[in-house]
Amino acid sequence: MWYKEISNDSDVVISTRIRFARNLDNYKFVHMLNSNEKNEVLDKVKNAINSEYKFLDIKNIDETTLFSLVEGHLISKEFAAQAEGAIVINDDNRLVAMVNEEDHLRIQAFEPGFNIDSCYKNIKKFTDSLEEKLKFAKSKKYGYLTSCPTNVGSGMRVSIMLHLPALTKIGVISNILEQVTALGLSVRGLYGENTSAYGNIYQISNQRTLGLLDTEIIDKVKIVVTTIINEERKARNKINSYKLQDEVYRAYGILKNARILKEEEALKLLSKVRLGVCMNIINEVELSKVQQMMIDTQSNSLQVICKQALSEKEEDIKRAEYVRKELD
Amino acid sequence: MKCENCGVNEATVRYYQNINGDKKQLHLCSDCAESLGFTSFSNIFSPMFLDSKNYDFLEEPQVCNVCHYSFDDYLKTGLFGCPNCYESFQDRLDSLFLKLHGKTRHVELEKENKTKKEVTEKSNLSKKDNKLDELKEKLKALIEEEKYEEAAVIRDKIKEIEGK
Ligand SMILES: [Zn+2]
Ligand SMILES: [Zn+2]
């Protein structure tokens, strides 16, 4: 899967995602549809995709697997929790579309690292091929029409997932995030509440979608994120010390030896090890492995790997077991 | 549903109005219905009623004619009901979009204008190129025929166009 790959700026950027919101013409938006109409939308999309892509009705996916996709950030929590919908997905999960989420189609392209251009190429190719067969709701005045007017126009959301432990450590993260917000981009901490995000993972996205060319939106995100990447690298140089090396190796030591590991603790420790790997403090583990463990140690993903349902207690033990095995 | 006049009592009476095929509904409590003089259906169409400024709450039902979603529904849910809502609520969208996006129109309108301009510029350019080629051919021919005086005139013309 793509999230195990290492790519451009992977030391700071975990992944790039572009999402297009599209709706079929002549249908009401999803929240206004009855079951029959929802099924019609599913059928239309199913018939419009080519054999490169799988069409999975979420009724046929068990809950644990579904929520493991949420943990991999491939689908939204709201979508996984509903009963009617489908996922269109390709072999390496680089393209994942949700059918009947808030819009009839939420098409997403993913890349590891900082790779907006290849994401855009992929999503454009898929969406254009769909648009040859399906008529999307679009107006001259407002562009692509979406259920929520915050997405109208281009319908495009570019999101970059960043690992910013050094900026957090030197205490400037909230200042930087404020500046990003002031530039019209949105920021959120990925785990925990915004104010106490753990794991130091943040997602930055464009907020505005109307009256802008796709390239204008992309350029803005590129400029801002490039600046943040440089700031994070500068901060990493600043904090490099024996104390940091000690912290990294302690985190590694716990991961390698713990017998009980909670989800939040695992992510916090993996965040430290990730920083250590990217700063060449620690060479015992590869970045791709750390990246993979950050996804796989989450509750549902872990249960999918263990192929069994686990109680919370069992889960913490299995998590420790899994991490020890991976680091061996 | 509350009465649309006083907003306090439960609406118990529903009145329909049909102006040029534009159907509007009015929900009132019986007190308001009486005090507004809606004692019978025909009163709705009385000129007094339609002219009176007191009844301007009738003017904007703001309901999408396709999905019957109202702008108030949008304010509650944050979602529109169907693509046509964008047309139905267009009077209120400019200020909403200005808040959300800082712009009010899709970029393709601007882009189209831009490309149109570029196309006309381009066609002007290519016209210029054609003329230039033509003159250069002529110049060549005149020089070959040793008509130097005429050639000088053409040469100046070419210089003039190229200089632009
Ligand atoms: Zn009343
Ligand atoms: Zn509507």
Average pLDDT over residues A207-225: 95
Query: What length does chain B have?
Result: 164
3 state DSSP class of A313: helix
Structure confidence by residue, pLDDT tens digits, B21-66: 555 667 777 777 777 766 544 444 333 343 344 444 444 557 999 9
Average pLDDT over residues A101-119: 97
Contacts of A154 in chain B (CB under 8 A): 107
Residue bearing tokens 């939040």? A264
Residue bearing tokens 């393209």? A95
Residue bearing tokens 């969208």? B93
pLDDT score, position B51: 39
pLDDT score, position B135: 81
Res A162 pLDDT > 50: yes
pLDDT score, position B55: 46
Best CA proximity match to A3, nearest among A298, A264, A222: A298
Bridge partners (DSSP) listed for residue A112: A15
Chain A: residue whose CA lies nearest to B79: A148
Distance between first and last Cα of chain B = 72
Structure confidence by residue, pLDDT tens digits, A64-74: 999 999 999 99
Quote the pTM value.
0.77
Is the torsion defined by CA of B151, B153, B158, B159 positive or negative?
Answer: positive
Most confident of A31-40, A178-187, B116-125: A31-40
Q: At what angle do helices A312-327 and A287-296 cross, to 10 degrees?
A: 170
pLDDT score, position B41: 43
CA distance, residue B131 to nearest chain A CA (Å): 36
Chain B: residue whose CA lies nearest to A209: B101
- Minimum-distance CB partner of B106 among A27, A142, A150: A142
Res A231 pLDDT > 90: yes
Residue spans of beta strands (DSSP E) within chain B: 13-19, 22-28
Res B1 pLDDT > 80: no
Contacts of A211 in chain B (CB under 8 A): 101-107, 110
**Contact in structure between B9 and B31 (CB atoms under 8 Å):** yes
Ranges of each domain in chain A: 2-236, 242-327
Average pLDDT over residues A148-170: 96
Best CA proximity match to B6, nearest among B25, B46, B33: B33
Contacts of B101 in chain A (CB under 8 A): 152-153, 208-211
Structure confidence by residue, pLDDT tens digits, A48-98: 999 999 999 999 999 999 999 999 999 999 999 987 899 999 999 999 999
pLDDT score, position B57: 47
The pLDDT confidence band at residue B15, using thresholds 50, 70 and 90, is low
Percentage, residues of chain A above pLDDT 70: 98
Structure confidence by residue, pLDDT tens digits, A242-272: 999 999 999 999 999 999 999 999 999 999 9
Percentage, residues of chain B above pLDDT 90: 23
Q: What are the respective helix, strand and coil percentages of chain A, to the nearest 5?
A: 50, 15, 30
The pLDDT confidence band at residue B132, using thresholds 50, 70 and 90, is confident
Contacts of B80 in chain A (CB under 8 A): 29, 145, 147-149
Best CA proximity match to B5, nearest among B60, B55, B63: B55
Average pLDDT over residues A179-193: 86
Contacts of B102 in chain A (CB under 8 A): 184, 208, 211
The pLDDT confidence band at residue A38, using thresholds 50, 70 and 90, is very high
pLDDT score, position A65: 92
- Minimum-distance CB partner of A210 among B80, B90, B103: B103
Which ligand minimizes its atom distance to the CA of B68?
2
Bridge partners (DSSP) listed for residue A54: A89
CA distance, residue B69 to nearest chain A CA (Å): 9
Q: Do A154 and B101 touch (CB under 8 A)?
A: no
pLDDT score, position B131: 75
pLDDT score, position B47: 35
CB contact, 8 Å: B96 with chain A? Answer: yes
Res B20 pLDDT > 70: no
pLDDT score, position A270: 97
DSSP count for chain A of H helices, then E strands:
12, 10
Res A120 pLDDT > 80: yes
Res A214 pLDDT > 60: yes
pLDDT score, position A2: 87
Task: Pick from B80, B95, B99, B109 the residue to mutate for testing the A interface (most A CBs within 10 Å).
Answer: B80
Contacts of B66 in chain A (CB under 8 A): 28
Q: How far is the CA of B88 from the centre of ligand 2 (A)?
A: 7
pLDDT score, position B26: 73
- Minimum-distance CB partner of A137 among B83, B103, B108: B83
Average pLDDT over residues B135-139: 81
Distance CA A98, CA A80 (A): 10
Q: Mean pLDDT for chain B?
A: 72
Structure confidence by residue, pLDDT tens digits, A279-309: 999 999 999 999 999 999 999 999 999 999 9
Structure confidence by residue, pLDDT tens digits, B81-111: 999 999 999 989 998 999 899 999 998 755 6
Q: Mean pLDDT for chain A?
A: 94
Residue-wise burial string across A115-124, b where 16 or more C-beta atoms lie within 10 A, e elsewhere = bbebbbebbe
Q: How far is the CA of A79 from the centre of ligand 1 (A)?
A: 42
Res A317 pLDDT > 60: yes
CA distances to A117, A295, B64 from B71, rounded to whole Å, are 38, 41, 8
Res B128 pLDDT > 90: no
Strands A105-112 and A143-144: unpaired
Which ligand minimizes its atom distance to the CA of A28?
2
- Residues of A at the B interface, defined by Cβ within 8 angstroms: 23, 25, 27-29, 31-32, 102, 137, 139-143, 145, 147-150, 152-154, 184, 208-213, 216
CA distance, residue B120 to nearest chain A CA (Å): 22
Best CA proximity match to A248, nearest among A297, A285, A282, A278: A282
pLDDT score, position B19: 53
Task: Pick from B90, B94, B101 the residue to mutate for testing the A interface (most A CBs within 10 Å).
Answer: B101
What is the CATH code of the structural domain delimited by A2-236? 3.30.590.10
Which ligand minimizes its atom distance to the CA of A23?
2
Query: What length does chain A have?
Result: 328
State which amino acid sits at residue B149.
E
**Contact in structure between A198 and A267 (CB atoms under 8 Å):** yes
Q: How far is the CA of A199 from the centre of ligand 2 (A)?
A: 42
Distance CA A242, CA A246 (A): 6
**Contact in structure between A302 and A319 (CB atoms under 8 Å):** yes
Within a 10 A sphere around the Cβ of B1, how many other Cβ atoms?
A: 8
Bridge partners (DSSP) listed for residue A156: A20
Q: What is the CA radius of gyration of chain B?
A: 34
Q: How far is the CA of A241 from the centre of ligand 2 (A)?
A: 60
Distance CA A59, CA A84 (A): 7
**Contact in structure between A154 and A162 (CB atoms under 8 Å):** no
Q: Do B83 and A29 touch (CB under 8 A)?
A: yes
Q: Do B82 and A27 touch (CB under 8 A)?
A: yes
Average pLDDT over residues A268-277: 97
Distance CA B78, CA B30 (A): 33
**Contact in structure between A190 and A162 (CB atoms under 8 Å):** no
CB contact, 8 Å: B75 with chain A? Answer: no
Distance CA A156, CA B101 (A): 13
Residue spans of beta strands (DSSP E) within chain A: 13-22, 54-57, 86-89, 95-99, 105-112, 138-139, 143-144, 156-163, 185-189, 201-206
Which ligand minimizes its atom distance to the CA of A27?
2
The secondary structure of A214-225 as a DSSP string is HHHHHHHHHHHH
Does A253 or B132 have the greater pLDDT score? Answer: A253
pLDDT score, position B50: 38
Residue-wise burial string across A192-203, b where 16 or more C-beta atoms lie within 10 A, e elsewhere = eeeeebbbbbbb
